[in-house]
Chains A and B, each alone.
Chain A
Amino acid sequence: MSAFDVIVSGTMIAQTVRMTIPYGCAALGGVLSERSGVVNIALEGTLLASALAAVAASHATGSALAGIVAGVLCGATVGLVHALLVVRGRIDAIVSGIALNLVAAGGTRFLLRALYGSSSNSPSIQGLRFGDGWGLLARTVFDPFLLATIAIVAAVAWMLRRTRFGLRLRACGEDPAAAQAVGVRVVGMRTAAVALGGAVTGLGGTALAYDLHQFQAGMSGGRGFIALAAVIVSGWRPWPAALACLAFAALDALQIVLQNQTKLPSQVLAMLPFVATLVGLVLVSKRRGGVTRAPAGLGQHAD
């Protein structure tokens, strides 16, 4: 089989779609957080922490659903902490993000040793069982995590555009002082938005762990950061962000599918998503303006 055949193969497509889920969830979490005006580089740590929470809960109870709930709750908690530090404590969002990522990276390793006596990975879990005996296509398309992700993208897009909550959220992101002046509780809105974004990201972390049927130290592997880049490249909009994630996921999948197919050193492929992110940032800056600008109140406080 030539490399080209592999690229257009069903495996590659299925892999791409599967890889999109954690990216997509984290990006949506980023959209929610940043559209409310809170910079969120803690997405990386959120993915990691929620992946471990999901595995630990699922391992302890034997229930995949419990794991999902734990993952989402853990994500929401990380988001809440970030919001409390940044919105109420008023520390710099980047500082908070760096610190939370550090705590998540160290904390998951700490817990890995505390819970399972291993410094690299958890025992394997079953993950989400569905569609035994279905074909690859059906298993890919009807993956509950994928359906949930698509539903979330649609819901967030609709919410930001059509609902009172969404409009207020955006008002906080565009001009917190003005939002405050017309009676929007900026602190509360932002806290809710970042926590909600954390919950969505937590679902992505859960999907990531379930996909590999275990937790591995450092398994988020920069996906949270790439997701944030996808948010920026797509102009902070839900659907374009999801599409950007699909593109990054394709590069990720390429790396896995092509691993044994080419003579290229594996590192060249491993670099691809990150190089693509840089290229994406450059390309988007060329046509900056109009809809693809950052929320004007990003990083500002109301008073």
Chain B
Amino acid sequence: MKLASSRSLPAAVAGLAIGWLAFCVLVWLYGASPRAMAGLVFEGTWGTSYGAGQVLFKATPLLFTGIAVDLALRAGLFNIGAEGQLAVGSLAAGVIGAHLPPGTPALVALPLAVGGAMAAGALWALVPALLKGRFGAHEVISTIMMNRIADSAIGLALGAGGLALTGTVRTADVASGARVARLETWFPSLNGSAASFALLFGVAGTFLVTGSYRRTRFGREIGLIGQNARAMAAEKVPVRARLEQALVISGAIAGAASLGTVLGYKGYFEEGLGAGAGFGGLAVAILGRGSALGLIFAALLFGTLQQGGLAVNAFVPKELMDVLTGVVVCAVALADEAFARRAGMASSAPTLAKVGTS
């Protein structure tokens, strides 16, 4: 599998063209005007400073979950569990934030809340990681199961566990020191949009993670494991441990996405907050694979789709954008494969299978 390499630009462009085509066809089939709807999408997103802010707000958790999935993907693992890891991470951020004394300075409160969220996300990823490393259970199945378990476990913790305010499904407000300020405090023109400085943490995190792929031993090792685990095992790299670590770190990063949901937006955790961002992160990682700019672009793209969906929702169901996300993911993957084959690069077939016929 060609998991470690990054996307080619023409493939991304081709994928987007197909996505645009799908948008037009679906809107037209629904009986609306593609031109008018595209206008609405633009106005609701990049056309106004508020809209642009909302796109940044939507893109923030996507960026975190995107790098989370990307890191695991680098090692050849599909972390479909970012959704659940983000959910338990958000719960942890909310609970820790709410239990801090009101006057806690930000320098203490924020690291505590984020650290707790990352620990919770890591813990949630630890189960599939151990199942993978110790028992060989495929991480796709186990991470999906952990997503479902997270749903119930969070409901349980909020309800029976008494973490929610009585009669609600939300935690108390987090201490003000644990809040991440909104971008509009510096850029008043964002006009009340919910974008926060969490975005900057996300961008920094993206460069940190993608930079580590080349600059750290761990990063290089998981990249090589993703390409050829057997060869790395022969090189005495502890493959099993690296895979487990990659998945746990991936879970921690997904947990950190609560910066954009709990700490940067609501100021408390409630059931369902940030839902969908984990699956969106899969799309971000598949599109932006391995490159910081690619991941940021992908997060902005899918953030635009989400916000654009809200802008047209009165005329065309916003779920249109979920369909488009799936179409774009497929189209980009297809185009990438086609371009790679035309360029005469190695196809995605494992070498062993290729030797058999050529």
Contacts and interface: CB of A to CB of B under 8 A. Distances in A.
Interface string A60-72: 0000000000000
A6 to B, nearest CB: 21
Given A102-B283, A176-B353, A282 B333 contact: no
Contacts, number: 170
A291 interface: no
B128 to A, nearest CB: 8
Interface stretch (A86-94, A152-160, A203-211): A86-94
B135 interface: yes
B131 interface: yes
Q: Is the interface of B mostly helix, strand, loop or mixed?
A: helix
B337 A114 contact: no
A96 B330 contact: yes
Nearest to A273: B148
Interface residues of A, number: 54
Nearest to B337: A90
Contacts of B148: 222, 271, 274
Interface string A220-242: 00100100110010000000000
Give the size range of B's interface with the partner: 35 or more
A98 B159 CA distance: 31
B334 to A, nearest CB: 5
A185 interface: no
Interface of B: 1, 3, 26, 30, 78, 80, 127, 131, 135-138, 140-142, 144-146, 148-149, 151-153, 155-156, 159-160, 279, 282-283, 286, 317, 319-323, 325-327, 329-330, 333-334, 336-338, 341, 347-350, 352-354, 356-358
Given A89-B338, A102-B326, 10 more contacts: A89-B337, A94-B140, A102-B279, A102-B283, A103-B322, A106-B325, A110-B320, A229-B145, A281-B131, A301-B348
6 contacts: A100-B326, A100-B330, A106-B325, A110-B322, A278-B127, A301-B348
Interface of A: 41, 85, 89-92, 94-96, 98-103, 105-107, 109-110, 113-114, 119, 175-178, 180-181, 222, 225, 228-229, 232, 265, 267-268, 270-271, 274-275, 277-278, 281-282, 285-286, 288, 297, 299-303
